[in-house]
């Protein structure tokens, strides 16, 4: 095998592949990258058996062939080159990398034993197309809400993102039981295509990284094959195992309406939440959100820190209303919006708050596309600023 390629282009492909290399591979060959030079193209494949990536680009192929090279050393070597182009020639035992006057030799392993990614052209594969920008937005608005390794009490399926296909729509839902993000996008499904699938958080992260939102007419193809999902975008293909199990039926846990909706300035709210987080240092601490005529007041206290109180004007003319939220979780939700203002729909101190992008007059229209849900915390009914009981920091009701 022998090929010549721009150093910058090769470095780009290697950077996309590095995250798939396991830290402690169960099989030694998985510490290597599969490199194929064929039909004027260079293809680099990496996998940890649960998820894999295949990246392709044009190259000057002087001699076709296949080999594998150690990902760590090959990547570090290419990153350190200053030459415009690099030439790689390989046999079954070694590869020689030449860049201007520099010459390096790396041990190679035959590519025959490298695990193959599934064939997406199989007849049993179900596939559909979706705009890359829309898919990236959907994953951005939902992927952050899935349960993390720290959430040991969350059921296993909550550690993944649900993708429900039905009626020419793809509905993505992520939740850890205390917050939820949901986003629905239109897709063209074949007749009778429907079902629910759970994508691992790593799969969501890697797909999102490789999607483009610059070209609004650029499409990605999603393929479903047996227990795997594949996403093909431009010259990159990601294939990953689906999580097994049933994603919980949220049902009544997702509120269908709100008694009133207020509009909040996104940047101002984020600033106040960051200030208040100093007084809610623990993940399960909460703060009091109190609405009065034209004003939202946020208060919190920390036993070993002190008290905090911030205010912002809002268009609210109803009766005084109070509810408790964890400011860190609310901040993370607001960070995953893009509009200048957001809307917060509330019913009572015991039911979840609903957050959508845009002003209050577009709340229900925006909710059809995507929304966030945040469970409230236990709230004191007393008047003092330290209105949230330190021992009562669990959600009022974790319905899912």
For 174-195, write each residue's pLDDT tens digit: 999 899 999 999 998 877 788 9
The predicted pLDDT at position 153 comes to 66
CATH number at residue 15: 3.10.150.10
Q: What is the pLDDT of residues 16-48, one digit of tens each?
A: 999 899 988 989 999 999 999 999 999 999 999
The predicted pLDDT at position 118 comes to 84
101 C-beta neighbours (distance < 10 Å), count: 6
Determine the Cα–Cα distance for residues 88 and 81; give it in Å rounded to an integer.
13
Residue 338 to residues 22, 49, 271, 391, Cα–Cα distance (Å): 34, 36, 15, 35
The predicted pLDDT at position 159 comes to 92
Pair 132, 44 in one domain: no
| Closest among 394, 399, 400, 359 to 379, alpha carbons compared | 394
- Cα 349 to chain centroid distance, Å, stands at 30
Pair 104, 199 in one domain: no
Pair 103, 159 in one domain: no
Determine the Cα–Cα distance for residues 346 and 320; give it in Å rounded to an integer.
13
The predicted pLDDT at position 126 comes to 85
pLDDT at 150 exceeding the cut of 60: yes
Mean pLDDT, the chain, whole residue set: 89
Per the structure, how many domains does the chain have?
3
- For 137, the domain range is 126-248
Who has greater pLDDT, 392 or 158?
158
In a domain, 398, yes or no: no
Determine the Cα–Cα distance for residues 240 and 229; give it in Å rounded to an integer.
6
In a domain, 279, yes or no: yes
In a domain, 226, yes or no: yes
The predicted pLDDT at position 252 comes to 63
**The whole model's pTM is what?**
0.89
The predicted pLDDT at position 123 comes to 58
Mean pLDDT lowest for which of 132-141, 213-222, 250-259? Answer: 250-259
Pair 86, 191 in one domain: no
Pair 41, 16 in one domain: yes
pLDDT at 394 exceeding the cut of 70: no
30 C-beta neighbours (distance < 10 Å), count: 21
Looking up tokens 């330290």 gives: 386
In a domain, 171, yes or no: yes
- 369 and 184 Cβ atoms separated by less than 8 Å: yes
User: Alpha-carbon torsion 14, 17, 23, 24, what sign?
Assistant: negative
Strand partners, 207: none
Domain boundary residue among 229, 248, 267? 248
pLDDT at 397 exceeding the cut of 50: no
The predicted pLDDT at position 392 comes to 36
Pair 108, 165 in one domain: no
Strand partners, 69: 33
- Buried-exposed string 191-222: b where 16+ CB fall within 10 A, e elsewhere: eeeeeebbbbbebbebbeebbeeeeeeebbeb
Q: What is the pLDDT of residues 86-136, one digit of tens each?
A: 999 998 889 999 999 999 999 999 999 899 988 877 656 788 999 999 999
Domain boundary residue among 196, 214, 248? 248
Helix (H, G, I), strand (E, B) or coil at 243: coil
Pair 196, 287 in one domain: no
Strand partners, 96: 89, 105
In a domain, 385, yes or no: no
């Amino acid at each position: 095998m022998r090929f010549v390629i721009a150093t910058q282009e090769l470095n780009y492909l290697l950077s996309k592949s590095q995250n798939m290399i396991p830290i402690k591979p169960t099989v030694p060959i998985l510490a290597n990258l599969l490199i194929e030079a064929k039909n004027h193209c260079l293809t680099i494949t990496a996998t940890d058996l649960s998820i894999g990536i295949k990246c392709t680009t044009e190259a000057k192929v002087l001699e076709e062939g296949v080999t594998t090279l150690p990902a760590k050393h090959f990547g570090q070597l290419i990153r350190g080159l200053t030459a415009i182009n690099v030439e790689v020639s390989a046999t079954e035992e070694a590869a020689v990398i030449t860049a201007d006057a520099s010459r390096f030799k790396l041990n190679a392993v035959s590519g025959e034993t490298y695990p193959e990614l599934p064939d997406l052209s199989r007849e049993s594969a179900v596939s559909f197309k979706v705009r890359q920008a829309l898919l990236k937005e959907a994953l951005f608005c939902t992927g952050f809400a899935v349960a993390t390794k720290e959430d040991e009490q969350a059921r296993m399926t909550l550690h993944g993102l649900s993708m429900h296909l039905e009626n020419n729509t793809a509905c993505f839902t992520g939740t850890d039981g205390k917050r939820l993000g949901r986003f629905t996008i239109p897709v063209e499904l074949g007749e009778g295509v429907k079902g629910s699938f759970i994508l691992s958080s790593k799969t969501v992260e890697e797909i999102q990284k490789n999607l483009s939102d610059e070209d609004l007419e650029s499409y990605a193809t999603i393929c479903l094959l047996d227990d795997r999902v594949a996403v093909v975008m431009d010259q990159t293909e990601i294939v990953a195992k689906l999580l097994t199990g049933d994603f919980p039926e949220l049902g009544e846990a997702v509120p269908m309406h709100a008694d009133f909706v207020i509009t909040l300035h996104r940047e101002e709210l984020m600033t106040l939440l960051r200030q208040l987080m100093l007084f809610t240092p623990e993940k399960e601490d909460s703060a009091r959100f109190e609405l009065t005529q034209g004003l939202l007041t946020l208060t919190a206290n920390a036993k070993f820190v002190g008290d905090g109180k911030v205010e912002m004007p809002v268009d609210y003319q109803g009766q005084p209303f109070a509810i408790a939220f964890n400011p860190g979780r609310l901040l993370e939700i607001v960070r995953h919006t893009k509009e200048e203002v957001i809307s917060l729909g509330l019913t009572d101190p015991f039911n979840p708050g609903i957050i959508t992008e845009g002003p209050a007059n577009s709340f229900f229209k925006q909710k059809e596309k995507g929304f966030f849900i945040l469970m409230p915390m236990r709230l004191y009914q007393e008047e003092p600023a330290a209105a949230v009981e330190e021992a009562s920091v669990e959600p009022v009701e974790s319905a899912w």
